[in-house]
Amino acid sequence: MKKLRWGLLSTARINRALIKPIRASRRNELVAVASRTLEKAQTYADEWEIPRVFGSYEAMLADPDIDVIYNSLPNSMHAEWTIKAAEAGKHVLCEKPLAITVGEVDAILAAGEEAGVTIMEAFMYRHHPQNEKIKELINKGAIGELRLIRGSFSFNLDSPNNIRLDPALGGGSLWDIGCYPISFARMIADAEPIEAFGWQITGASGVDETFTGQLRFPDDLYLQFDCSFQTPYRVHMEIVGSENAIIVPQPYKPGSKEKIFLGDGNKKKKISMPGEGLYRGQVENMADVILDNKALCVSLSDSRNNIAAIKALLQSAREGKVISI
């Protein structure tokens, strides 16, 4: 059986979430890590028992014995190194956000098509069965007409030197965590927003540390969401219909056993379901696409539309007006 050989493009903390799933897969294996110095790459490889090391990103991309790159570099570097990896003939799983402009996504799409490689944005929650159950309930009419989607994602970020607060690296709460309720709402609506309005609190860092926004979809469906680095940990999605609502306690990182709630303000029914490893889902989906020509769970057009919505919200917050998308 052919195995896809993976290389980690950086020693970022998020790599930890992917190492075990790659090793647990029958069709994938972790073979290398790259950093900006050989010493740093070797230290990381020793800690995680990775057999090969590279002292530059370029050296890893030049190696013909690596099939897939996991791009966990800072946001502002995602597009550049995803394109370089594609041009080197590598498939890429890139951390979210895939890019920080729509133009960058278009360049990634063009590079992937030219090289004939697979590129996917790493929205891990999309690989959980919970999403299909929610859509099944909506399609069966369990909540009536879909009217409103509400979401939150926040946590206190105490370190002033965290890259999430660096404007030069694509920092900000909207790029880092606000992207989740936006992506989730678009998935549930099965449509794209047509208008955006946003408010932001910009901290000393120069990036939005709290963001609140609204997206209007066709047929007067709305998303209302908030995200923040200045408030305690909160995650939540609520899908409101004309008759009932679905409460999703763990929308962005559901576990191996998960539950959602269906009902109204007076009575709710708990619906339990088995799950699976989110990061394992990403790894297996890449293998399915590359080896079996199956469909991507998160297409590049999907990623493009999410980034277009984020850019419209940021523009709205700057200009203080509704932005058409």
Separation of alpha carbons 13 and 163, rounded Å: 12
Name the burial class of residue 153, with classes exposed (0-12), middle (13-18) and buried (19+) by CB atoms within 10 angstroms of its CB: buried
Q: What is the CATH number of domain 126-279+306-324?
A: 3.30.360.10
Is 96 part of the annotated catalytic residue set? yes
Examine the pLDDT at 212 and tell me if it is beyond 80. yes
pLDDT tens readout for residues 16-62: 999 999 999 999 999 999 999 999 999 999 999 999 999 999 999 99
Q: How far apart are the first and last CA of the chain?
A: 46
Examine the pLDDT at 235 and tell me if it is beyond 80. yes
Chain mean pLDDT for the chain: 96
pLDDT of residue 60: 97
Quick one: average pLDDT of 241-261?
Answer: 93
Domains 4-122 and 126-279+306-324 share a fold: no
pLDDT of residue 274: 83
Residue 144 — pLDDT band, cuts 50, 70, 90?
A: very high
pTM: 0.95
Separation of alpha carbons 197 and 211, rounded Å: 11
Quick one: average pLDDT of 318-322?
Answer: 97
Examine the pLDDT at 160 and tell me if it is beyond 90. no
Quick one: average pLDDT of 277-300?
Answer: 94
Alpha helix (H) residue ranges in the chain: 16-24, 38-48, 57-61, 78-87, 102-115, 129-139, 173, 179-189, 278-292, 300-319
CATH pick for 4-122 out of 3.40.50.720, 3.40.50.620, 3.40.47.10, 3.40.1190.20: 3.40.50.720
Domain ranges of the chain: 4-122, 126-279+306-324
pLDDT of residue 52: 97
Q: Which of 40, 96, 135, 253 is catalytic?
A: 96
Of 278, 10, 9, 324, which Cα lies nearest the Cα of 125? Answer: 278
pLDDT tens readout for residues 263-275: 988 889 999 988 7
Residue 257 — pLDDT band, cuts 50, 70, 90?
A: confident
Examine the pLDDT at 276 and tell me if it is beyond 80. no
Whether residue 71 contacts residue 93, with contact meaning beta carbons closer than 8 Å, is answered with yes
Examine the pLDDT at 64 and tell me if it is beyond 90. yes
Examine the pLDDT at 2 and tell me if it is beyond 90. no
- Four-residue CA torsion sign, 107, 110, 115, 117: positive
Examine the pLDDT at 277 and tell me if it is beyond 80. no
pLDDT of residue 264: 87
HEC letters along 216-235: EEHHHEEEEEEEECCCCCEE
pLDDT tens readout for residues 108-126: 999 999 999 999 999 999 9
Separation of alpha carbons 254 and 134, rounded Å: 13
